[in-house]
């Protein structure tokens, strides 16, 4: 009874605050809340009852807001940390935010952009409080946490977050968006597939949506470690290859600007760089050429699925971020954390090493119960699209982690499986952009603003405008299946001087 009375009292406080911010009650303006309403929020109504609600004054571009932290426990053994940040003046929209690697993300930095636009933000640690994105041994040791991270944490965060916002503001939300890249991109796709009623609009960037991303890292490490490391590359070797690839294909889009806009249409052959004598800084050994060809081509398993996704020409200098291009066979990510998951895939403690991982290992892993739970590969989005949902998928062409080829495959499957995709799905490839950000491409894109405009106007974008932090480049990124082509005259940084043309790849 005390909790019920507190909830009724809180609702009255919030409704009073709301009516002050939006007196006509028609949702035409911002909806307000207050420090008093925040500090009176009963965290005991959420999950385990552990947490707090505190008012945060405006600072450094972030508006005043109520920060509510809690621990959700939807099943026995579950411990899902959540943080909600609800601005003093609310636009009526919720924004769920994804994590990265093998971790969630509850930082204020991740919420900054949404809060600045007056979204109420929702974040989770994914069911595991650690922030080391590659320390994922807990996944094999804690099956409840593994399922939380795979799909349950974001859903529970969202359901509870909607209740929190309604309580604090005294009114239901108008719409709910989700935005995530990398693991956050997988979380985004999982929401569209498994929980289609959670969000109205979803942005999925560079999604690590199947374990093929991890197996790709492992097989790439093996590729460069062949011949006792003779196929390994120094940073200068990688730059040599990238320079040669750009020389061959950079101008195909009408402008030589250090970017290959359609890398799968580039036919650069690394054999052009093979030494005729001893290896030196101007050429590549035969082992290196063979490794490069394998990396570009990718590798199919015996079931015809990609066990190693292909790499794109033109981004070679950035490959070492996610793979052991030096020939050591060991990268900083441990094959995307795959080795720590072997107990999930192989019984009785008998399992391969990362060096001996092979086709049969790959097949066993993809057929495991964990893969079934974790992978967000279902292209049937009829339930999500059926309620008007909008999905924006994007990927950097020079991503050295999850390959854009994986996103291409999924995008084509979505288009083929859903008649609504023509108006409710958009896919963008970003030339020269690395994993989520970085690389020489125009990597700064206002995805949230573009999605908000799409959701508000009903008109899907046919291009996104990308820039760089230093203002040195502005480029249009065309919606699939088109690619940007320079007209041949005018300011190259003015998007009007670019057209979107059918890609050749």
Which of the residues in the chain have pLDDT under 50? 1-28
What pLDDT, on the 0 to 100 scale, is given for residue 20?
36
Domain presence at residue 499: no
Same domain, 261 and 397: no
Q: Where residue 182 sits, what CATH number does that domain have?
A: 3.40.50.1820
Domain presence at residue 142: yes
Determine if the peptide bond prior to 185 is cis (ω within 30°). Answer: no
Same domain, 78 and 205: yes
Domain boundary among 345, 364, 383: 345
What pLDDT, on the 0 to 100 scale, is given for residue 365?
95
What pLDDT, on the 0 to 100 scale, is given for residue 332?
86
What pLDDT, on the 0 to 100 scale, is given for residue 1?
34
Could you read off the pLDDT of 209-246 as tens digits, one per residue?
999 999 999 999 999 998 888 999 999 999 999 999 99
Same domain, 76 and 219: no
Residues 478 and 484: beta-carbon distance below 8 Å: yes
What pLDDT, on the 0 to 100 scale, is given for residue 320?
95
Domain presence at residue 445: yes
Give CA–CA dist 396/318, Å, rounded.
12
Same domain, 161 and 280: no
Give CA–CA dist 322/306, Å, rounded.
18
Q: What angle do CA 104, 155, 414 make, to 5 degrees?
A: 95
Same domain, 310 and 389: no
Same domain, 121 and 188: yes
Domain presence at residue 131: yes
The DSSP H or E segment spanning 455 is: helix 447-457
Q: Which residues contact 350 (CB under 8 A, 6 or more apart)?
A: none
Domain presence at residue 473: no
Same domain, 219 and 191: no
Domain presence at residue 474: no
Domain presence at residue 467: no
Same domain, 81 and 177: yes
In which domain, by residue range, is 207 found? Answer: 2-211+374-421+432-455
What pLDDT, on the 0 to 100 scale, is given for residue 349?
67
Same domain, 41 and 172: yes
Domain presence at residue 153: yes
Same domain, 322 and 386: no
Same domain, 239 and 276: yes
Query: Can you say how many angstroms the Cα of residue 270 is from the centroid of all Cα atoms in its chain?
Result: 31
Task: Name the pTM for this structure.
Answer: 0.93
Report the number of distinct structural domains present in the chain.
Answer: 2
Residues 399 and 431: beta-carbon distance below 8 Å: no
Q: How far is CA 304 from CA 300, 342, 362, in A?
A: 5, 22, 12
Same domain, 220 and 202: no
């Amino acid at each position: 009874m005390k909790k019920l009375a507190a909830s009724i009292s809180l609702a009255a406080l919030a409704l009073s605050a709301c009516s002050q911010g939006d007196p006509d009650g028609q949702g035409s303006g911002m909806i307000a809340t207050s420090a008093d309403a925040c500090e009176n929020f009963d965290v005991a109504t959420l999950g385990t009852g552990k947490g707090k609600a505190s008012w945060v004054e405006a600072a450094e571009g972030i508006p005043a807001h109520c920060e509510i932290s809690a621990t959700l426990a939807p099943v026995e053994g579950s411990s899902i940390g959540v943080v909600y940040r609800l601005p003093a003046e609310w636009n009526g929209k919720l924004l769920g935010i994804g994590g990265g690697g093998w971790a969630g993300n509850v930082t204020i930095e991740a919420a900054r952009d949404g809060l600045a636009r007056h979204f109420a933000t929702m974040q989770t640690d994914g069911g595991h409080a650690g922030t080391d994105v590659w320390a994922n041994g807990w996944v094999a040791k804690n099956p409840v946490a593994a399922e939380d991270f795979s799909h349950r944490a974001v859903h529970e965060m969202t359901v509870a977050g909607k209740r929190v916002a309604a309580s604090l503001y005294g009114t239901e939300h108008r719409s709910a968006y989700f935005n995530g890249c990398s693991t956050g991109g997988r979380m985004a796709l999982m929401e569209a597939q498994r929980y289609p009623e959670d969000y109205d609009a979803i942005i999925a960037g560079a999604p690590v949506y199947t374990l093929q991303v991890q197996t790709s890292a492992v097989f790439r490490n093996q590729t460069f470690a062949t011949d006792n490391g003779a196929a390994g590359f120094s940073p200068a070797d990688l730059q040599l290859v990238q320079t040669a690839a750009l020389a061959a294909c950079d101008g195909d889009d009408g402008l030589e600007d250090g970017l290959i806009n359609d890398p799968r249409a580039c036919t650069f052959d690394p054999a052009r760089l093979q030494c005729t004598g001893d290896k030196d800084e101007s050429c590549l050994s035969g082992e290196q050429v063979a490794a490069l060809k394998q990396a570009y081509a990718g590798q199919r398993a015996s079931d015809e699925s990609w066990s190693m996704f292909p790499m794109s020409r033109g981004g070679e200098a950035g490959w070492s971020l996610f793979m052991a291009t030096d020939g050591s066979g060991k990268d900083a990510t441990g094959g995307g954390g795959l080795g720590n998951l072997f107990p999930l895939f192989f019984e009785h403690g008998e399992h391969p090493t990362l060096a001996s991982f092979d086709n049969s290992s790959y097949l066993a892993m993809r057929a495991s119960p964990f893969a079934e739970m974790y992978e967000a590969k279902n292209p049937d989005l009829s339930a999500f699209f059926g309620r008007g949902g909008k999905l924006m998928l994007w990927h950097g062409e020079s991503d050295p982690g999850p390959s854009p080829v994986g996103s291409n495959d999924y995008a084509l499957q979505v288009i083929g499986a859903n008649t609504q995709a023509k108006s409710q799905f958009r896919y963008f490839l970003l030339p020269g952009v690395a994993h989520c950000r970085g690389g020489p491409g125009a990597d700064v894109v206002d995805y949230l603003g573009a999605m908000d405009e799409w959701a508000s106007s009903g008109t899907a974008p046919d291009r996104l405008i990308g820039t760089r932090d230093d203002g040195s480049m502005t480029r249009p990124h065309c919606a699939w299946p088109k690619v940007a082509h320079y007209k041949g005259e005018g300011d190259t940084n003015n998007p009007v001087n670019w057209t979107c043309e059918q890609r050749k790849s």
